[in-house]
Chain A
Amino acid sequence: MEFALEARQLKKEYQDKLALKGLNLQIKPGEIFCLLGQNGAGKSTTINLFLGFITPTSGAAYINGLEVADHLLKVKEYLAYIPENVMLYPNLTGLENLALFSSLAGFEYDKEQLLFYLIEAGLPAEAASRKVGTYSKGMRQKVGIAIAVAKHAKVLLLDEPTSGLDPKASNEFSDLLLKLSSQGTAIFMATHDIFRAKEVGTRVGIMREGELVDVLGTAALDANELEKLYLNYMHN
C-alpha cells in the first residue's frame, strides 16, 4: 500500500550534531501520528525534512510515494504545513490571507467559497474581513487550518500547533483535526502536549535525541500511562 507519509532510514547530521538518527516511519491516509519529544529531540527536523526545507544526510522522506528531495515542488501539492505560530500577513484580512495562500497552491476561490472555508475552520464570519493583525493566536491557527483545507491537502504537517492555545481553542483545534482525518487526511503532529496526543492521535511516537524510541497505539493506553511511559523514556 502507498503511505501518505514515509521515512526510510532518514538521517540528518549538522556540523556538530546528529539531529535525526535513521528514522523509519509510515503513516497511512486518515491516520493522525503524534510525535512527542523534548526540545531539540528532532521533531522539527523531521517536519523540515518532509517539507524539503533541509536535505537529508542519508535516507529519504516520501510524500504520497514521491521522494521529497527529488520532487520538491510536486510534493507540496499534497501537503499543508501549520507551524507553532501561524503569523500570516497582519496587514491583510483573513479572507485576503486565505485567498493569497490558496492562489499560490493553484486554487482561485470567490469570496463566498473563501468565507465557507474560514467558517468551516471555526473562524467567526465577522472576523473574516478584519485584518489578521487583530486576531488571537487561536484565530490565526484556524486560518492556517482553512488554508490546508482549501488546498485539499492529503498530508498535514503540524509543528506544535496547540502550544500557547487556551483549552477551548485547543479542543476546537483537535475537533478540526479529527474531522480532517475522518476525511482521509494523514496528519503528522509534533507536540509536547501528551494529553492532546492521546486524544487525537491514532499512534504516538516518542523521540529522544534524534531517535524514535517507541511507537504506541493510543487505543490501548490512557493519558496517564502515556505520560508515565514518556517520562520514563526521558529520564533513561
Chain B
Amino acid sequence: MVRSIAQKEFLSTLRDKRFVVLSVLVLLLLLAATVVGLYSAHTLQQERMVAQEEVNHQFHNSQDRHPHRMAHYGSFAFRPKSSLSFLDFGLDSFTGASVFMEAHRQNSANFSQAQQSSSLIRFGEMTVAFVLQMLLPLLIVFLCFGAFTQEKETGTLKILLSQGVSLRRIAWAKIKGYSKTVALVVTPALLLAAGLLFGQNGFDLHPDTVWRLLLFLSFYLVYFFIFIVLSVIISALHRRSSTALVTLLGIWILFCVIIPKAAANLGNTLYTTPTKAQMDADVHEEVAKGIDGHNAQDARAGGLKKELLRKYGVDSLSQLPVNVDGIIMAAGEEQSTRVYREHFDKLTNTFQQQNLISELAAFLNPYLAVRHLSMGMAGSDFSHYLHFQEEAEEYRYKLAQGLNHLQATRLTYKDKTTRLSSDTWKEFKPFSYETPPVQWALSHHVFSLAALFLWLVLVCTVGFRLIDKTQIV
C-alpha cells in the first residue's frame, strides 16, 4: 500500500518537467560545487604543504646563528586543509591559513581566502554544503508543497481514502516517495564526491575520514527528511497549494535566513569582543609589567638574577653554571605567553558564547543544527580553527623555550657573538598538524546533535499527529 503511493509519487515527479528541470539544475550545481570545491581544496592543500615544507627546510638549513636571533627568525605553521573541507568550506575562507611563530609574540592566523578574494565572497560561496543546506530544502518545498493540497484540490484525496488507506499511511508513503526523489538528486553528486576524494593520487584513506564522511551524509539525510516531513505536514494542514507554498517559503526564509542572522546578531550583542588593536594593546600593557629580556636595566630581571646568584651560591653572573640571559628570556617568554593565553582564552570564551547562542538556536531551526554539524565533520568550524591555533601556539612556545634553553646552556653570560651551528636547528621537530578525531569534533556540537535528533523526533511524533487533523472535506 505504502509502496504503491510512494512509487506513484516518484513516477509522477519524474514525469513532471518543471521538477525535472529544477532537479537537474540543483544536481548540476551540486556536481559543479563538488568538482570546484575539491579542486580548490586540493590546490590550497598543495600550496600549504609546499609552503610548510619550504619554511621547515629554511628553518632547518638556516645559517649559523645566535639562538635568540633564531627565535626571532621564527617559522610558519600552515593549517592543512582537512580531507572533507571541500564539502563545506565553513569558516576556512575567513580564518587565517598560516601563523608566524616567533619569540615574545603570539600572532594570530593570517592570509584568509576572504582577505585575498574580492568582496563577493561575503555573499557566500557555492559549496556542496551551501547547495545541501539552502537549495535542497527549497527544492523539497517545491516538491512537497502540494503533497496533500493538490490531492484535496483535485479530489483524489477522497478517492484515496475511500480505498481504505489512512491519512498517516498516505503521508508516510508520500514522504517515502519524495525521499526517493531527493536521493535521486543528491546521490550522484555525493558518489562523485566520494569517488573523487578517495581516488585522489596519494590519498591516505583514514578511518576517521570515512567516519566523518558517513556522519556528514547521515546528518544531511536527517535534515532532508525533516524538511520533507515538515513540508508534507504543512501541505496536509492547508486547503490550497498556494497558501501551503507561501507558508513553506516563509519557513524556509525563517530557517535559512532570519534565525541564523538573528542568532549571530544576538550573540554579537550579548557577548562583545574587543577589537584586535584593543586586545594587542591590553596584552602589550600587561606583558610590559613582566620581565623584559631585552632590557638589561629591567628591575624584575634584576630580581631574577639575584635569585639565581642565591640559588647557585655565587657572587657574579659570569660564575653561574647557566647563561642568565637565556633564563631571563625563558622567564619573559613564560610570562608573556601566560598573559597572551589569558587574553586569548577570554576572547575564545566570548566567541564560544556567541557560538553557543547559535548552537542553542538550532533547537528552533534544523538548518543551524546541520550547519554546525556539517562544518564540524568537514573540519572547517571554529573549534577546528581554534585547535590549530592552540597547536601552533603550543609549538611556538616550545620552539621559543627550546631556543632559550640553548642560549642558557650552550652560551655564556653576555655572549652575543657566538653562533650555533646550523645543525642545531635540525634538532627541532618541524611543525606538523593532525586534524583531531571525529569524536572530538562531535563533542563540540552536542547541542546541534541533540537539536537535530529532537527535530527528527518532533516531526515524526507531533507531525504525524497533526496529519490526523487534516480536513478532508
Contacts and interface: CB of A to CB of B under 8 A. Distances in A.
Interface of A: 44, 48, 51, 53-54, 73, 76-77, 79-89, 91-92, 96, 99-101, 103-106, 131, 144, 147, 151, 157
Given A51-B162, A53-B472, 7 more contacts: A53-B158, A85-B155, A86-B155, A89-B156, A96-B11, A104-B160, A106-B164
B5 A100 contact: yes
A144 B161 CA distance: 14
A101 B16 contact: no
B159 A91 contact: no
B161 A53 contact: yes
B438 to A, nearest CB: 43
B164 A83 contact: no
Closest 6 CB pairs of A and B: A76-B164, A87-B154, A81-B162, A104-B163, A91-B15, A91-B12
Contact of B158 (A83, A106, A131, A147): A83
B8 A89 contact: yes
Nearest to A78: B164
B439 to A, nearest CB: 46
A87 B164 contact: no
Interface string B141-155: 000000000000011
A84 B159 CA distance: 12
Contacts of B163: 76, 101, 104-105, 147, 151
B8 to A, nearest CB: 5
B418 interface: no
Interface in B156-181: 156, 158-166
A86 B160 CA distance: 12
A151 to B, nearest CB: 7
Contacts of B164: 73, 76-77, 104-106
A75 to B, nearest CB: 9
A89 B12 contact: yes
B11 A92 contact: yes
Nearest to B153: A87
Interface in B1-58: 1, 4-5, 8, 11-12, 15-16
A55 B189 CA distance: 49
B24 to A, nearest CB: 17
Interface residues of B, number: 22
5 contacts: A53-B158, A76-B163, A81-B159, A83-B155, A84-B155
A105 B78 CA distance: 65
B120 interface: no
B17 to A, nearest CB: 10
Contacts of A89: 8, 12, 156
A83, A99, A106 — most chain B CB neighbours (10 Å): A83
Contacts of B159: 81-83, 86, 88, 101, 144, 147
Nearest to A51: B162
A73 B164 CA distance: 5
Contacts of A87: 154-156
A51 B1 CA distance: 20
Contacts of B296: none
Contacts of A106: 1, 164
A76 B162 contact: yes
Nearest to B170: A104
A88 B77 CA distance: 65
Contact of A103 (B1, B11, B156, B166): B1
Contacts of B154: 87-88
B473 interface: yes
Contacts of A104: 1, 4-5, 160, 163-165
Contacts of A82: 159
Contacts of B160: 101, 104
B19 to A, nearest CB: 10
A91 B17 CA distance: 10
B152 to A, nearest CB: 11
B4 A103 contact: yes
A77 B160 CA distance: 12
A79 B163 CA distance: 8
Contacts of A131: 15
A103 B6 CA distance: 12
B55 to A, nearest CB: 62
Contacts of A79: 162
A130 B142 CA distance: 26
Contacts of B473: 44, 48, 53-54
Interface in B168-198: none
Nearest to A99: B4
B158, B164, B472 — most chain A CB neighbours (10 Å): B164
Interface in B88-126: none
A143 to B, nearest CB: 10
A91 B158 contact: no
Contacts of A151: 163
B8 A73 contact: no
A152 to B, nearest CB: 12
Contacts of B12: 89, 91-92
Contacts of B8: 89, 92, 96, 100
A47 to B, nearest CB: 9
Nearest to B7: A100
Contacts of A92: 8, 11-12, 15
A96 B161 CA distance: 18
A141 to B, nearest CB: 12
A89 B159 CA distance: 11
Contacts of A103: 1, 4
Contacts of B4: 99-100, 103-104
A88, A91, A144 — most chain B CB neighbours (10 Å): A91
B4, B11, B162, B164 — most chain A CB neighbours (10 Å): B162
B1, B5, B11, B156 — most chain A CB neighbours (10 Å): B156
Contact of B11 (A73, A86, A91): A91
A76 B15 CA distance: 30
Contact of A51 (B11, B156, B158): B158
B215 to A, nearest CB: 37
